[in-house]
Amino acid sequence: MAIDTALWSFALVVGLLTLTPGLDTALILRTAALGRRTRAWGVVLGIQTGTLVWGALTSAGVTALLTASRLAYEVLRWAGVCYLLWMAGRMLYDTFRGGAETAPSAEALSGADSLAGGWRQGTLTNLLNPKVGVFYVAVLPQFIPEGAPHFPMGLLLTSVHITEGLLWSTVLLLSASAFGRWLRRPRARRILDRITATVIGGLALRLGFSE
């Protein structure tokens, strides 16, 4: 397989993955819809940082431990489940507690509109999802041409995934901004938080009960 063929083929595969709605999409849309554009960009950069880490570790052969060691995978998997359930539970709790009309829940969970805070949330969410690592272990090596230097080629392929992620995230941010004024109303914000919490909780349960 030639390098250019590998790049285009990998771009198609991860492009479909990027467009599939999931946890990353939910976090980006919610953060942007609440008017925290700086934090939303931090979430985007954090998610892509996590992708870069997974790609680098896979290229170096480290993430093969996830498939070789059941214990390593289980520890990371349940850490991710607990983190996602906490996030979803906190979000739901704040939408039902007294005084929710003023929508303090968004402040409590999202925090200040800071790039660093969003970056930490995005990075942690991505790195605590072992299925991202397993995906890279299963898919990335198949697109590295025979004879190509493994680590540099792996990083090049990962950069394709990151580029597509940034482009799609930009579309999501612009879309959320168009409805931002309506979504920042207390009632709309509660609905948004409950939908997002349901999505995150569902993903946590799927991660916990899947093999």
Going from N- to C-terminal start, the domains of the chain cover: 3-9+24-209
Task: Tell me the residue type at 145.
Answer: P
List the pLDDT tens digit at each of the 211 positions of the chain. Answer: 678 888 999 999 898 888 877 788 888 888 887 778 899 999 999 999 999 999 998 888 776 666 666 777 777 778 777 877 887 787 787 777 754 443 434 444 455 678 999 999 999 988 887 778 778 877 888 888 888 888 999 999 999 999 999 999 999 898 877 666 666 666 766 776 787 778 777 867 876 777 5
Neighbours of 68 (CB within 10 A): 10
Nearest to 88 by CA among 170, 180, 210, 206: 206
The predicted pLDDT at position 163 comes to: 96
C-beta separation of 130 from 80 below 8 A: yes
Nearest to 127 by CA among 88, 84, 85: 84
Nearest to 166 by CA among 28, 10, 33, 59: 28
The predicted pLDDT at position 78 comes to: 81
Cα torsion 58, 60, 62, 67: sign: positive
Task: Look at residue 6 and give its three-state secondary structure.
Answer: helix
Alpha helices in the chain (DSSP H): 3-19, 23-33, 37-59, 64-68, 70-96, 104-110, 115-127, 130-139, 150-178, 180-183, 186-209
**The tokens of 9 are what?**
């083929």
204/206 Cα distance (integer angstroms): 5
Nearest to 125 by CA among 91, 161, 85: 85
197/205 Cα distance (integer angstroms): 12
Burial 143-163 (b: 16+ CB within 10 A, else e): bbeeeeeeeebbbbbbebbbe
Question: What pLDDT digit, counting tens, does each position of 29-59 carry?
Answer: 888 877 788 999 999 999 999 999 999 988 8
The predicted pLDDT at position 63 comes to: 65
Which region, left, alpha or beta, applies to residue 129 given φ > 0 means left and ψ of -120 to 50 means alpha?
beta
